[in-house]
Each structure stands twice: as C-alpha cells, then as structure tokens.
C-alpha cells in the first residue's frame, strides 16, 4: 500500500509570518464593511426593540398557548404526553378528574418554565388532541424574577394565536 506524505504546514517563511492569511481575511472583512456602508438597506441587523422583526410567521415557535374546546373549556386531557416528550423536563401538570362528562381528566395545574424550555416544539408534536400550540408569535418576554418565567395555566389559556395561524 502506497504511503502519501503530506508536507507539514508552517515551514516556509510566508507561512510562518501569517501575514498573507491576515491580509486575505481583512480584505474580505473590509469589502463587506464598505459594501454595507454604501447601501445600509442590505444590513440585516435591527435596532431592537425600537425595530421589531417582520419575519415572524405563524410557523414560528413562540411562547405556548393551551387551546380550548367550542364550549370554552380547556382541550387538554392531562395525558402527560407533552411532559414526557419534553427534553427539558419543563412542563408541570397536575391532573384532576373531569366532572362534566366531556372527558376523563383535565389539568388542575399546567405550567411551563420558559427559562428551561428550548422551544423545540416536541410538546406540540406529542399532543394527541392539539391542546398545546406555539403559534402565539411571542418571541420576547422580559420578567423581573426567575419565578415569573414559569407561565401557569391561566396565562397559557389567555394567549391568542397570531394573525394568519389557524
Ligand atoms: S418546546 Fe420543547 S422544551 Fe419547550 S416545553 Fe415544549 S417540549 Fe419542552
Ligand atoms: S397538552 Fe396535550 S399532550 Fe399535554 S397533557 Fe394536555 S392533552 Fe396531553
């Protein structure tokens, strides 16, 4: 079997100086800099929060919401599928028996710790009855305390779908 000898990099004076590589890199950086200076409309950076992104679509995974049935009651049947599928283990559910005969169970407590959540959407995929969605378009949330990032069932039920989602 033939042996391929690969020359060791960094032996010549040109390679030891690193200068040609630095100049090459700076050439690319400055070409983009002057290009953007000539036409600022091409710059992708937004002056957030004064400027808000316009490309949030209904498919964007925002903060969750719990959906309701036609009779305005919670759709969730407290099956724990979402909590089981959640890789961050940030969904907390406490189930109670449903007494209106619509279903067997419903959540008494349902909360999501948004600081733990990685917004993967696994909970939405796992739900067998479309009771949890991430189509609110809410991408920014500022709170003062860590505990405030744990959204409870009332907040999740109050979230509305963003315009254009179904
Ligand atoms: S989006 Fe992912 S990490 Fe967040 S609650 Fe759902 S399953 Fe868990
Ligand atoms: S949101 Fe869906 S998956 Fe999660 S407990 Fe309720 S019904 Fe089950």
pLDDT in tens, 107-117: 999 999 999 99
Instruction: Give 147's DSSP letter.
Output: G
Q: Which letter does DSSP use for residue 142 in this model?
A: -
Read off the pTM. 0.77
Nearest CA owner, ligand 2 atom 2? 127
d(CA 149, CA 91): 12
Q: Which domains does the chain carry?
A: 65-158 (3.30.70.3270)
What is the per-residue pLDDT for 106? Answer: 96
Bridge partners, 74 (sequence order): 68
Q: For residues 90 and 116, is the Cβ–Cβ distance under 8 A?
A: yes
Distance from the CA of 121 to the center of ligand 1, in angstroms?
A: 6
pLDDT tens profile 133-151: 999 999 998 899 999 999 9
List the beta bridge partners of residue 151.
112
Strand partners, 112: 91, 151
Task: Report pLDDT digits (tens) over 37-89.
Answer: 998 887 888 888 898 888 898 889 999 999 999 999 999 999 999 999 999 99
> Is the CB of 86 inside a 6 Å radius of any atom of ligand 1?
yes
Q: Parallel, antiparallel, or unpaired: how do β-strands 132-133 and 65-66 relate?
A: antiparallel
Give the integer Cα–Cα distance in Å for 10 and 13.
8
Q: Which ligand is nearest to the CA of 88?
A: 1
């Amino acid at each position: 079997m033939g042996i391929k000898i690969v020359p060791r990099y960094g032996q010549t004076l040109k390679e030891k100086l690193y200068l040609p590589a630095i100049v090459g890199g700076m050439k690319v950086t400055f070409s983009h800099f002057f290009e953007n200076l000539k036409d600022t409309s091409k710059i992708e950076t937004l002056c957030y929060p004064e400027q808000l992104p316009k490309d949030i679509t209904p498919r964007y995974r925002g903060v969750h919401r719990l959906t309701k049935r036609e009779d305005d009651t919670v759709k969730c049947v407290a099956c724990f599928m979402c909590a089981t599928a959640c890789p961050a283990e940030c969904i907390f559910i406490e189930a109670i028996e449903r007494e209106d005969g619509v279903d067997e169970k419903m959540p008494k407590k349902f909360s999501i710790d948004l600081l733990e959540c990685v917004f993967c959407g696994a909970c939405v995929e796992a739900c067998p009855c479309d009771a949890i969605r991430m189509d609110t378009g809410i991408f920014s949330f500022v709170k003062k305390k860590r505990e405030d990032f744990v959204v409870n069932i009332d907040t999740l039920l109050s979230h509305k779908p963003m315009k254009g989602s179904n």
